[in-house]
Amino acid sequence: MGTFVLIHGGGDVGWHWHLVRSALGSRGHDSVAPDLPCDDPSATLVDYANAVVEAVGGRRNLVVVGHSYGAFTATLVADRLRAQALVLLAGMVPSPGEAPEDWWEHTGHAQAVREQARLDGGLTGNPDPMVRYYHDVPRALAEEALRRERKESPAAGRMPWPLPAWPDVPTRFVLCRDDRVFPAPFFRRLVPERLGITPDEIAGGHCVALSRPQELAGLLAGYV
């Protein structure tokens, strides 16, 4: 069985993964989902990775999973801990020397959102978080997630991704077909361009760990 290292997205907390952790546990897998120090304005991506490595301790047989902005941290952790696998869930695939705050322009994200918004009547990129992020999450869970939101460290956003190349770790990518933050066509283009692989797909929006935890856990368990 594997140990899943679950890394949350920007301004989020480890709680985001609690339903997936339960579902993985019922399948016999261990997991850890630490809070990144993102509410410290001086914390960098390396500080984020340090916090995860400390939380992992001596666990072995690691599958590192990074959600959204958490991809910048997950790649560093997978490299340092020589993980068995790296999984990006709707993850911001970084390139060497690329800072998170520059990723959006480099990848053409804004244009992809505009194109999808024209097709869905403005749902994609909608400023209301209940429409953009939590449209398929049960209301009580969505409200709890909003209460737990934190600010994101500007120091981390400015820090260039420090690895010289992609980690030497088997990598999978999962896109969410109903994602209103990162439209599916966007990742269907970007992932082959940057990783040379075809993404796997799961039904659900950006916060699929809250909307479809059992389905996501089943998919992740299949990577062990």
CA angle 6, 11, 13 (to 5 degrees): 40
Nearest 5°: the CA angle 2, 177, 138 is: 80
The overall pTM is greater than 0.95: yes
Query: How big is the CA angle at 123 (ends 119 and 129), to the nearest 5 degrees?
Result: 160
Q: Report the distance separating Cα 148 and Cα 144, nearest Å.
A: 6
pLDDT of residue 224: 87
Whole domain around residue 136: which residue ranges? 3-221
The H-or-E segment that residue 7 falls in is: strand 3-7
What is the mean pLDDT of each successive set of 10 residues along the chain, which is 224 residues long? 94 98 97 98 98 96 97 98 97 98 98 98 98 98 98 98 98 98 98 98 98 98 93
Total number of domains in the chain: 1
CATH number at residue 138: 3.40.50.1820
